[in-house]
Chains A and B, each alone.
Chain A
Amino acid sequence: MIHSLFLINNAGDIFLEKHWKSVISRSVCDYFFEAQEKAMEPDNVPPVIRTPHHYLINIYRDKIFFVSVIQTEVPPLFVIEFLHRVAEMFQDYFGDCSEVAIKDNVVIVYELLEEMLDNGFPLATESNILKELIKPPTILRSMVNSITGSSNVGETLPTGQLSTVPWRRAGVKYTNNEAYFDVVEEIDAILDKSGTTVFAEIQGVIDACVKLSGMPDLTLSFMNPRLLDDVSFHPCVRFKRWESERVLSFIPPDGNFRLMSYHVNAQNLVAIPVYVRQNISFFESGSSGRLDITLGPKQTMGKTVECVVVTVHMPKVVLNANLTATQGNYTYDPVTKILVWDIGKLNQQKLPNLKGSLSLQSGAPKPEENPSLNIDLKIQQLAISGLKVNRLDMYGEKYKPFKGVKYVTKVFR
């Protein structure tokens, strides 16, 4: 299926290649470069490119293009999903998925890729299994290895690969048994000029960090499962029990994983936690404009709004911005034309405000459209949909684990 993989950085250097079948010359990437040039921005590169003999399917992540070469018909999502898994695996192993990290660990990368695909067909993609086959690099281990000469390749077959719970390895032991669940919700909303909601939805995920010994069987129940409209699960969750009882019953993988993601069915009832008053205008005469943005909290249920960042994509004609912020600080990048205003915590009493003038390219016609504002924010200890975890029970093991649930609401776009 997947014939070869090329990793290409932003500058257009192929810094890693791997072939699972016969070798394909890297000149095939020229077609990719061509498309990249045409697309101007890395985001605009079409994911599927056709060349005379091959098909190139690529993803762009963390400033790296993962370009895979395909020769025959295959569902494109299959490849895309796999490439994302590869990127996630790198992140998992090396902390970040950057060119430097990959170059530093090229041998491990190669071993990983070798295990993940056999003849182009995914073999082992569960991080728990891979970590048993190839241990992730740590400073301590690399020191021990260099002294003792031992390797970081596992000696045994990962038990998970053969058991009925392929995602969990056997013989896990912890002195502190803990299970943490993060309920993270994201609001995704489009507001029009006057501040009315055009479209809003809540998407949530439950990320778990489970460090429990043995083979625990967990059951997580919600106070109000009916809120959840559309869900997708980690393979460990027993779907039948969810359908009948609306509880999550599962044997968790070891370590960090995404237990479920969901969509909340509340199309128009989404409470937007902040409001914005904005006024951006450009003068017909003279090359200048005025900008005035004020943010205020709204329906936050008594919690403070944090990490507020306002991003404005300015029209091309805006040369510079001369603004004053009552709170936080702003930067304007004249090259990418992006204005970023980092506010931080939102204060109830004193509303943050950004005001000032914009200087425009002289002679150029004034932009006919006002730029759109993107607002990112975060609210701790609140799931905006009102979802609440009721309880977590554990069966199958004797000890008493420490349990914790954290709620976060985010707005990111």
Chain B
Amino acid sequence: MLESSKESLKLEAMKRVVGLIAKGKNASELFPAVVKNVANKNLELKKLVYVYLVRYAEEQQDLALLSISTFQRALKDPNQLIRASALRVLSSIRVPIIVPIMMLAIKEAASDLSPYVRKTAAHAIQKLYSLDADQKDHLIEVIEKLLKDKSTLVAGSVVMAFEEVCPDRIDLIHRNYRKLCNLLMDVEEWGQVVIISMLTRYARTQFISPNEMLRDTNSEKAFYESDEEKRKSAEETKPYAMDPDHRLLLRSTKPLLQSRNTAVVMSVAQLYWHLAPKHEVNIITKSLVRLLRSHREVQYIVLQNIATMSIQRKGMFEPFMKSFYVRSTDATHIKTLKLEILTNLANEANISTVLREFQTYVKSQDKAFAAATIQAIGRCATNISEITDTCLNGLVLLLSNRDETVVAESVVVIRKLLQTQPSEHSDIIKHMAKLFDNITVPMARASILWLIGEYCEHVPKIAPDVLRKMAKTFHNEEDIVKLQTVSLAAKLYLTNSKQTKLLTQYILNLGKYDQNYDIRDRTRFIRQLIVPSERGGALSKYARRILLAPKPAPVLQSAFKDRDRFQLGTLSHTLNSKATGYLELSDWPPMAPDQSVRNVEVAEAVSRSTLAFDSDEGPKNGHSCEAGSRSGSGSGSSEESSSEASESDSESSSDSDSGTEQKKQSEAKPAQKVRRSSGDGLVSVCDRVCVCVCQQLSSPVFVPVHTYELLHRMTGKGLAAQYHFSRQPCIYDDRMISVQLTFSNNGDHTLENIHISEKTSAGQNIHCFSPIECLEPEKSVTVSMGVDFNDSTQAASFQLCTKAEGFNVSIQPAVGELLLPVTMSEQDFSKEQGKLQGMNESSATIAMTPESITSQPLHRKVVNMANVGVVPSGQNNVHRYQITKLVSSGALVLVCVVQKDSGAQLTVNTEKTIIGSMLLRELQTVLSAP
């Protein structure tokens, strides 16, 4: 049916295939038949094919490659929905070979006009990262760019990508911090969760603790300290003023407590818990209690978090104690959690109400819960000393309960309680000894035996009697009871040997022949210890001290005691163990890090040229980094492409505060992408613009840097200069080509005032770099300058001067560097090519080895040689269309490589025939080289 020509049939078939996938059946053998339909026009069929493809591409990598070209074409589609879905599927196909293609597509999409596509790009980042972690550096670059995005749609996704790829690069957040806080309210709810948890971590590293100052600064102590320390503590005591950014975060998240999404509420709650000053945390209580009305699973998580909070701050939840009363319809794990919280909240004032509640719970039909209640009572009793007696009496009453688990639990709890204060309670022990006959649960029996043994001095009459009974039933008892019997016997032997000597020996004899080796061991050990024999006896002197040493009382404490080491609301917190990928919440820094990193300079010149589009963005979220270089960008030209070009360029070259980093960046990645102006308001306009302005500047492709020598250090007397073409649109003038110069001082003295003095060559316009004041030895500095070569390969020569000397140097442009890439669709390309026939066309055939014909190496070679852009091609044999624009004249240069059997047909079309032929020649040599 998939092969059928009728679409409805195909659709039907595809639906069945998807049905198979859904059931988990293997449908992979249909792969070839399905992939054929990937280019189908029917949208539903297409979607189903996508579903199929994503499911099976990993298993059938070779076949999956067939579909790639379709997606690449779809990436250029004017419809943003199609662009986005193509990127989604392309990035979901987990085939390692296409990593470079994905990378390219992500970069392209990250600067797409549609925020929806940019959102998809942010998602694709994570996918690519999980496929190939080596791309991390490039991906971080894209993330950095997307973080600057002002669309609420993108924010959530890109922060998610940030968390996945580079959660430690906190420096990327600085500049976007305030923007994220302000946008938070409007971000979609899932994004809110992610952003809030990221900001929590961020704030923990950037702000100082608001509660720190509450700690008493003991002035007396300071008196004895040295002067310096005193001064320091004086500094500490100065009133705490919250960082305005910290305040901003708290303020902007507060309304989200009212969200309908429980996850959002929880994440705000944890943010307040971890970040807010103590007196402000209380506002989250009400919202958390509200969440308890939600689904069972939500209750479970929220209760867990409340349990942790209630240990540290009882007061927070005390007014809402009644909300934690257990209902008979609750699931068991919810009941136990509520119990936990109630226990944590109990104090002197409310204990009577709590205990009354507990009394009801003990009678519950859910026995596991009843047992938990008894433990809770035990904990209350230890925590609040006033009620210990009441609790004990209540528990003793429970001993007559008919249910075994309840009795056992009570005995165990009583034992723990008695251990804390044994002396006054001999009557209870007596009572328990009386009950001993009726209790059958081994754990309870063992506990009673232990109690009697431990406190046999308080009950001198009963103890031997119990032992006597035990001797009778010894062989029927459980192991644990037998062990305790042996211990009891030993203890009695030591305290009351007159009465129990025979009994003890009898029991020890019984134990000696027991089936269980633990019991045999214990028996032998006890016998050696207490019964004096001729040989040993060294230990028996200490037997009394060994056996009857006072034992520390067990501590009854909450299971949630140590949970606060995990960030609230996280999976790790729920499981109480570290989950994979859990990010530690760092402690507050002792001193506040520099606040100014978050400052965003408001540039007045911001987007004067683009103002027509994005009036609603206003200067408030200003383009942070244009400030410096904007002045040089000439007149705000009205042509869109040029304004974009200047914007992107200024962006790349003006990370003003971090000089070194900027240098690193510009060296490593010479080809910064052109950033299209972005923003919500733009979208509707720009979608249309996108169609009519066909010649947009497109992003140059990443290539290794070719550096050329300008001045050798020998001739330059220590000063060495190198240059390379950065392939960025020039910031100074549209017609110029930007050249990056790197000066390094190899001499042993400082060079001062490096500048360009005279421009010798005629007709070439050079925009000089600003003079370098001084250059220390072993240092180097990079500057950029613009040269208008007039579309010729004639060298630009000028004199490079230092304070002392001048050197004549020249920059020789390669023909490939005279070009700027532009984007164009395939149709437009063909149209333009048609216009440039005849003498404007020059072509050649190249012989090539088969392996170099495949698109990747071919593409790389061309791109290395010339600054060109790529036009997506539908035909497989027509490999690459390259299209460029001459910088000075703006004339088009079209390059086309058509793959043949044993080589390639290379065609260059341009008005400037000289450039055309030169380019052809160069390309020929590059491509035919192995």
Give the B-binding residues of A (Cβ under 8 A). Answer: 1, 14-19, 21-23, 26, 41, 43-44, 46-48, 50, 55, 58-61, 70-78, 80-82, 84, 106-107, 109-111, 114, 118-119, 121-123, 125, 149, 151-157, 161-162, 164, 166, 188, 190, 198-199, 201, 203, 229-235, 239, 243, 258, 261, 263, 267, 313, 315-316, 365, 367-369, 371-372, 374, 413
Contact = CB atoms under 8 A, between A and B. Distances in A.
Nearest to B295: A84
- Among A44, A239, A413, max chain B CB count under 10 A is at A44
B333 interface: yes
B327 A70 contact: no
Nearest to B56: A23
A121 B190 contact: yes
Contact of A111 (B7, B47, B581): B47
- Among A15, A119, A368, max chain B CB count under 10 A is at A119
A60 B299 CA distance: 13
A81 B123 contact: no
A81 B58 contact: no
A15 B19 CA distance: 10
Nearest to B120: A118
Contacts of B333: 44, 46
Nearest to A47: B297
Nearest to B258: A232
A125 to B, nearest CB: 7
A190 B323 CA distance: 11
A152 B287 CA distance: 40
A205 B254 CA distance: 22
Contacts of A58: 297
B722 interface: no
Interface in B551-570: 569-570
Contacts, number: 225
A162 B80 CA distance: 11
A21 to B, nearest CB: 7
B92 interface: yes
B266 A121 contact: no
B130 A199 contact: no
Interface stretch (B218-226, B381-389, B434-442, B572-580): B572-580
Contact of B51 (A41, A73, A110): A110
B364 A369 contact: yes
A109 B262 contact: no
B44 A151 contact: yes
A369 B363 contact: yes
Contacts of A152: 44
Interface string B440-466: 000000000000000000000000000
Nearest to B353: A198
B300 interface: yes
A192 to B, nearest CB: 8
A15 B262 contact: no
Given A107-B15, A110-B22, A153-B47, A77 B266 contact: yes
B229 to A, nearest CB: 41
Main secondary structure of the interface of B (DSSP, over half): helix
Nearest to B44: A151
B361 to A, nearest CB: 10
Contacts of B575: 48, 50, 55
A55 B569 CA distance: 15
Interface string B391-435: 000000000011000000000000000000000000000000000
Contact of B24 (A14, A47, A111): A14
Contacts of A61: 295
Main secondary structure of the interface of A (DSSP, over half): mixed
Contacts of B798: none
13 contacts: A58-B297, A77-B266, A80-B298, A107-B48, A110-B22, A119-B123, A121-B126, A121-B157, A162-B116, A164-B680, A232-B259, A232-B265, A316-B365
A58 to B, nearest CB: 8
Contact of A23 (B58, B80, B115, B127): B58
Contacts of B572: 73
A151 B11 CA distance: 9
Nearest to A58: B297
B363 A118 contact: no
Contacts of A17: 22-24
Given A77-B262, A78-B193, A413-B327, A121 B80 contact: no
A368 B401 contact: yes
Interface string B182-199: 000110111001000100
Contact of A235 (B15, B51, B189, B582): B189
B255 interface: yes
A368 B571 contact: no
B19 A190 contact: no
Interface string B94-131: 10000000000000000000111000100110110010
A153 B50 CA distance: 14
Given A46-B333, A48-B574, A73-B583, A258 B260 contact: yes
B359 to A, nearest CB: 11
A134 to B, nearest CB: 9
A94 to B, nearest CB: 15
A81 B365 CA distance: 31
B328 A313 contact: yes
A73 B569 CA distance: 11
A195 to B, nearest CB: 15
A368 B363 contact: yes
Contacts of B51: 110-111, 114
B115 A162 contact: yes
Nearest to A413: B329
B88 interface: yes
Nearest to B82: A157
B238 interface: no
B296 interface: yes
B330 to A, nearest CB: 9
A318 to B, nearest CB: 11
B8 interface: yes
Nearest to B266: A77
- Among B115, B290, B302, B583, max chain A CB count under 10 A is at B290
A366 to B, nearest CB: 9
B150 to A, nearest CB: 13
B263 interface: yes
B896 interface: no
Given A114-B51, A151-B44, A48 B571 contact: yes
B298 A81 contact: yes
B755 interface: no
A404 to B, nearest CB: 23
Given A55-B571, A77-B262, A119-B126, A162 B683 contact: yes
B819 to A, nearest CB: 35
B615 interface: no
A84 B91 CA distance: 28
A149 B574 contact: no
A247 B290 CA distance: 21
A76 B574 contact: yes
B193 A75 contact: yes
Contacts of A232: 258-260, 265, 287, 290
A231 B571 CA distance: 27
B331 interface: yes
B581 A73 contact: yes
B829 interface: no
Given A22-B58, A190-B325, A76 B44 contact: no
Contacts of A75: 193, 197, 263, 266-267, 569-571
A47 B126 CA distance: 27
A121 B258 contact: no
Contact of B329 (A123, A203, A368, A374): A374
Contact of A149 (B7, B322, B329): B7
Contacts of A368: 363, 401-402
Contacts of B193: 75, 78
B599 interface: no
Contacts of B114: 162
B286 interface: yes
A81 B262 contact: yes
